[in-house]
Structure formats: structure tokens, C-alpha cells
Amino acid sequence: MTDLRTATLRLGTRASQLALTQSQLVADALSSSSGVPVELVHVSTYGDRSTEAIAQLGGTGVFVSALRDALHAGTVDLAVHSFKDLPTAPTPGLTVAAVPAREDPRDVLVARDGLTLGELPPGARIGTGAPRRMAQLRALGLGLEIVPIRGNVDTRMGKVASGELDAVVLARAGLARIGRLSAVTETLDPIQVLPAPAQGALAVECRSDDTRVRELLAALDDPAARACVAAERAVLAALEAGCSAPVAAHAELTEAEDGSAELWLRASVTAIDGSDSVRDSVSGPAAEAESLGRRLAAELLDRDAAALMAASR
């Protein structure tokens, strides 16, 4: 008879190189902390099968729903998501039981000839699939041509190697996890290009009533990462925007004068053509992460963020 305390856990994952790498990191950490074996179960999602642009797919949830269906069906015990892919609304019956330590959330440039963003000539072709990046790159006023692209990391960087594009913009976290940081020609300052909410963070999800898995995953949870992501996603939720909207948010934890954890949060909404944007920041106790996010979203809405998002749609 199988001992449920040591039974192998089935971890649902997308089959891309990055997803498999991220899932294996979680599997190894979970096995190390608990002694319980973990096996990866490949799950194909609609976002993986489609060649449409993210914005045309509807954005939020296209890489997530099949994994959640597998959790509900009991064919997997937990699933690993790139947190920025998750819809902001809670899903009945499921819970994010762990937010592991976060990678650097910034965007990076991978360009021909080792060029930086400022060194690319006017008319240079830069590829990205994210409306947020498109909007912010256009807002810089550098005269660059922004080209929508899809595909995995190698496919995107291959367009630079072939000469089809002069550069691509990617998440630094993904390249770090698959050991490809040597290809980066510039890490973009958030003053120029603010990251997506929850970029660089992983969400490990399980069934809410699975006490065993929830308890095992608690060892992987990083309170600092969870607080920052909660604040960033609260901005997104309050703006009623999905992960394909031109919304950016970045939270950092610092130490207040009294030694408590203070959270500093920045966010922006940019017109897709780069013609206008609103950006603001707030700070406060880390324990109030979600309320800080909602407060910042309200300030952005007071400055016509809704109109910018509507125009982008």
C-alpha cells in the first residue's frame, strides 16, 4: 500500500525549454526540502499551440487554463506558472501555495554587434511580443521599428542572428534560468522600460483542499517575493487590465527607519503608439502590499490611465 506521505508528486508544466527549466527548479527544491520525489507531467496549452500574437489570443490565461484543468481533474498535484501569465482573479478550488525567490524582473536587449538600445540606429527593427514593451519602446522616441514576434527564446534570438531583426527584448529572468545571459547586450533600466507585473516570479499552484501539497510547498515560499508580486498584481487588478495590456509595475522592498520592511512601488500605463503615458509611485509598509497597489492604480486612473488602455485595445 502506497504511503501518501512519500508518494511521488506530479508537477504539471508546459513543454517549452523555459517552462521545463522553471518546473525542474521547483521540483528539485521541493524534493530537497521534503524528501518527496517529484515527476514532471507535460501539459500542452492553447498559447503554446497557437501562432497568433498574445494580444490577439486574449492575453490573460492562454498559457494557464490547461494546467489548471489538469489540477482540477487530479491528473497533476501542482503546477508551475510564470506568475505574470496568471489572471488576477482568484480561481475557485486552487491556490498559489508558493512564490519562490524571484529572479531579476528587468527586461534585456539582445542586439546585433553587441549594441545597446541607444546605439541602435533610427529605423532599426526590434522584436517583442508584449504590448507593454512595444508601447514603452515607442515612447522613448528613438525612431525604432517595433516588430511583433512570437516563439521561444531561441526562435526570437535566432531572428537577430539571421539578420531579420536588429534586436529583441526579452525578460532577463528567463535567460538567467536557462543559462543564456551571455547573449544580453544591455539590461534595460526600469526608468526606460518598466517590467511587467510579477515578471521574474514563479507561482506554484495546487488544489486548495490538498493539505499535504500546501504544507510541502510552504517551505518554498519567499515572503519578499510574495509581497512585491502582490503589490504589482493589485495594480493590474484594480486597473482591470490583463497581462497583454500596456501596464507595467515594479515593487522593491527596503528597510524603513524603524527596521520594518517598506515597499516602494512604481507603475505606468502607456499608449500602444507611445504617444502618451502616465507613471507614478507609492511607498508604505510591506504588510499593506495589496492596498498600496490599489492606491497607486487609483492615482493612475485619476490621470486618465483608462483612456490610454482603451485606445490600446
In this prediction, residue 56 has a pLDDT band, given cuts at 50, 70 and 90, of very low
- Residue among 238, 198, 225 at smallest CA distance from 286: 225
Cβ contact 87:81 at 8 Å: no
Q: Which grid coordinates belong to 28?
A: 528539485
Query: Which grid coordinates belong to 169?
Result: 527584448
| 97, 214 Cβ separation under 8 angstroms | yes
pLDDT digits 0-9 by tens, 88-142: 998 999 999 999 999 999 999 999 999 999 999 999 999 999 999 999 999 999 9
Confidence of residue 3 (pLDDT cuts 50, 70, 90): low
Average pLDDT over residues 44-60: 51
Residue 62 pLDDT greater than 90, yes or no: no
Catalytic, 209? Answer no
pLDDT at position 60, please? 47
Radius of gyration of the chain (CA): 20
For residue 50, the model assigns a pLDDT of 46
User: Minimum mean pLDDT among 168-182, 252-266, 284-298: which range?
Assistant: 252-266
How far is Cα 126 from Cα 160, in angstroms, rounded to an integer? Answer: 9
**Gap between the Cα atoms of 160 and 73, Å rounded:** 41
From the list 77, 85, 107, 166, the catalytic residue is 85
pLDDT at 260: 84
Mean pLDDT (the chain) is: 92
pLDDT of 51 > 70? The answer is no
pLDDT at 313: 67
Q: How confident is the model at residue 253, as a pLDDT?
A: 95
Residues 228-270: tens digit of each pLDDT: 999 999 999 999 877 678 999 999 999 888 888 899 999 999 9
**Higher-scoring residue by pLDDT: 6, 70:** 70
Q: Give yes or no for residue 2 having a pLDDT over 70.
A: no
Q: Is the pLDDT of residue 271 over 80?
A: yes
* 49 pLDDT above the threshold of 70: no
Instruction: Reply yes or no on whether the pLDDT at 1 is more than 50.
Output: no
From the number of C-beta atoms within 10 Å of its C-beta (0-12, 13-18, 19+), residue 222 rates as middle
For residue 194, the model assigns a pLDDT of: 97
Three-state SS sequence of the chain: CCCCCCCCEEEEECCCHHHHHHHHHHHHHHHHHHCCCEEEEECCCHHHHCCCCHHHHCCCCCCCHHHHHHHHHCCCCEEEEEHHHCCCCCCCCEEEEECCCCCCCCEEEEEHHHCCHHHCCCCCEEEECCHHHHHHHHHCCCCCEEEECCCCHHHHHHHHHCCCCCEEEEEHHHHHHCCCHHHCCEECCCCCCCCCCCCCCEEEEEECCCHHHHHHHHHHCCHHHHHHHHHHHHHHHHCCCCCCCCEEEEEEEEECCCCCEEEEEEEEEECCCCCCEEEEEEEEEHHHHHHHHHHHHHHHHHCCHHHHHHHHC
Report the DSSP pairing between strands 167-171 and 107-111. antiparallel
Residue 239: closest CA among 99, 104, 60: 60
Write down the pLDDT at residue 202: 98
C-beta neighbour count of 122 within 10 angstroms: 8
**Predicted pLDDT of residue 197:** 96
Mean pLDDT of 264-292: 96
On the question of pLDDT at 290 being above 50, the answer is yes
pLDDT for residue 44: 80
In the prediction, which pLDDT does 265 show? Answer: 98
Structural domains in the chain, CATH included, are 9-100+201-221 (3.40.190.10), 107-187 (3.40.190.10), 228-312 (3.30.160.40)
- Segment 48-77 shows an average pLDDT of 72
What average pLDDT does the segment 151-170 reach?
96
Average pLDDT of the segment spanning 199-226: 98
- Residue 32, pLDDT > 70, answer yes
